[in-house]
């Protein structure tokens, strides 16, 4: 007797289109994923770590006290015009300690994470061998060598893109402030005192705590790390591949920024993205920026009533504006591989030709990981529908 036929069940085909198993990975389109927010000082520290880890041979330089001293003189420079826009010594020392921890990971595994908040961005310049990069360039050439009329130009690209903490007020810990308040109340000067206090109080910007090394000690989370190779060895993974080229010419020498976005549509259930920048010629510095949504209901309850100016000074979030925080940007030079969860919005930053008299291009391979808990219909189930 023949075994019963196994019927394929996928969202929209044997399963509800909004099928959502309990163990699915979060993604920004279908889930309410928000951050508790980070302070402006934390963002400066994240940006400093990202910039240092983009320097050549950074994992050796961060161990050189002479080089670190030079970085410190540059990063901790203060003058009255910069307000609080600098790294204090405790902030700098924390960043160096974290960078040294990351250097050990980089030397062992070849990648590090940056913008470490609720989520993070992983970056590597050695994950893909140079021989494989050249093989990829050769393999995609037949897809590129087609007439312009058959190319899938990205909409609006002018034929350049081809798709292929709670706020605190610094109070006097000595108790003198309470004595001043009592005196003002007793002598009928409360209103004047209160007005003066409102105008002259200073926002307390706390310094970071001492950095705690993770190496050889307890991990920050008890949750088990995800290993895609072993955890989904039997069921397999679904990955959507996309090749995209951007061509610049002396007539069109600059690429404007893309829109802020997360990847895919709801029915694609993309939970993570990896981008490989495999070919770049005559292109100036380029970056990919990231931002996150924050919990607006929680944020609005943090300051005292009508004290939203402290939220702006502490978190950089204006009242009545979008509940979004910029996290920074990562360099996207040739040979770099980036990976990040699909809960972070990202945007291609503007870039232009290095030499405006010559043409240039940037080519990327993007890989979208479909949530392995929610397999979707693919060409494994539905054959190609076109004969050509």
| In a shared domain, residues 272 and 187 | no
| In a shared domain, residues 243 and 312 | yes
Give the pLDDT of residue 38: 86
Full domain range(s) for residue 22: 14-38+117-168+228-373
Contacts of 190-195 spanning 24+ positions with Cβ under 8 A: none
Residue 186 has pLDDT above 60, yes or no: no
Contact by Cβ (8 Å): 371, 27 = yes
Helix (H) or strand (E) holding 325: strand 324-331
Rounded CA-CA distance 94/90 in Å is 6
Least confident segment among 47-61, 69-83, 160-174, 208-222: 160-174
pLDDT tens digits for range 187-205: 455 666 566 666 656 666 7
| Residue 388 falls inside a structural domain | no
| In a shared domain, residues 179 and 48 | no
Give the pLDDT of residue 174: 41
Q: What is the largest CA-CA distance in the chain?
A: 100
Radius of gyration for the alpha carbons in the chain, expressed in angstroms and rounded: 26
| In a shared domain, residues 234 and 290 | yes
Task: State the total domains in the chain.
Answer: 3
pTM above 0.85, yes or no: no
| Residue 2 falls inside a structural domain | no
Band of residue 123 on the pLDDT scale cut at 50, 70, 90:
very high
Give the pLDDT of residue 257: 80
Q: Which two tokens stand for residue 187?
A: 């002598």
| In a shared domain, residues 51 and 139 | no
| In a shared domain, residues 288 and 179 | no
Q: Which two tokens stand for residue 322?
A: 């979008």
| In a shared domain, residues 286 and 275 | yes
| In a shared domain, residues 181 and 304 | no
| Residue 4 falls inside a structural domain | no
Locate tokens 């479909």: which residue? 370
In 3-state terms, what secondary structure has residue 109?
helix
| Residue 384 falls inside a structural domain | no
Q: What is the DSSP letter of 268?
A: G
Share of residues in the chain with pLDDT > 70 (%): 75
| In a shared domain, residues 27 and 43 | no
| In a shared domain, residues 315 and 183 | no
User: What is the number of helices (H) and of strands (E) in the chain?
Assistant: 10, 14
Give the pLDDT of residue 18: 76
Give the pLDDT of residue 378: 83
């Amino acid at each position: 007797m023949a075994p019963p036929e196994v019927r394929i069940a996928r969202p929209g085909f044997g399963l509800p289109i909004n099928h959502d198993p309990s163990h699915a990975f979060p993604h920004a389109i279908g889930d309410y994923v928000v951050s508790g927010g980070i302070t402006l000082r934390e963002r400066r520290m994240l940006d400093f770590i990202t910039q240092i880890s983009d320097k050549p041979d950074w994992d050796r330089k961060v161990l050189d006290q002479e080089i670190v001293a030079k970085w410190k003189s540059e990063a901790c420079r203060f003058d009255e015009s910069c307000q609080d826009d600098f790294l204090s010594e405790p902030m700098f020392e924390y960043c160096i300690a974290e960078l040294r921890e990351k250097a050990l990971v980089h030397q062992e595994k070849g990648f590090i994470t940056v913008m470490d908040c609720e989520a993070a961005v992983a970056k590597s310049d050695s994950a893909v061998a140079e021989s494989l990069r050249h093989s990829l360039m050769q393999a995609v050439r037949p897809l590129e060598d087609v007439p312009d009329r058959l190319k899938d130009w990205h909409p609006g690209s002018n034929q350049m893109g081809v798709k292929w903490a709670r706020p605190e007020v610094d109070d006097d810990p000595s108790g003198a402030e309470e004595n001043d308040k009592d005196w003002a109340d007793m002598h009928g000067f409360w209103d004047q005192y209160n007005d003066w206090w409102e105008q002259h109080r200073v926002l307390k910007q706390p310094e970071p705590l001492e950095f705690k090394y993770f190496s050889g000690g307890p991990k920050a989370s008890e949750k088990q790390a995800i290993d895609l190779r072993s955890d989904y060895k039997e069921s397999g993974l679904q990955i959507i591949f996309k090749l995209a080229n951007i061509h610049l010419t002396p007539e069109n020498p600059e690429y404007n920024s893309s829109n802020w976005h997360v990847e895919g549509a709801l029915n694609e259930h993309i939970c993570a993205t990896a981008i490989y920048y495999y070919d770049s010629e005559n292109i100036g510095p380029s970056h990919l920026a990231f931002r996150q949504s924050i919990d607006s209901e929680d944020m609005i309850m943090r300051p005292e009533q009508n004290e939203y100016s402290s939220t702006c000074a502490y978190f950089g979030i204006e009242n009545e504006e979008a509940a979004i925080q910029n996290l920074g940007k990562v360099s996207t030079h040739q040979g770099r591989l980036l990976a990040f969860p699909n809960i972070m919005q990202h945007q291609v930053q503007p870039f232009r030709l290095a030499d405006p008299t010559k043409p240039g291009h940037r080519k990327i391979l993007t890989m979208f990981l479909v949530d392995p808990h929610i397999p979707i219909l693919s060409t494994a189930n539905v054959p190609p529908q076109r004969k050509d």
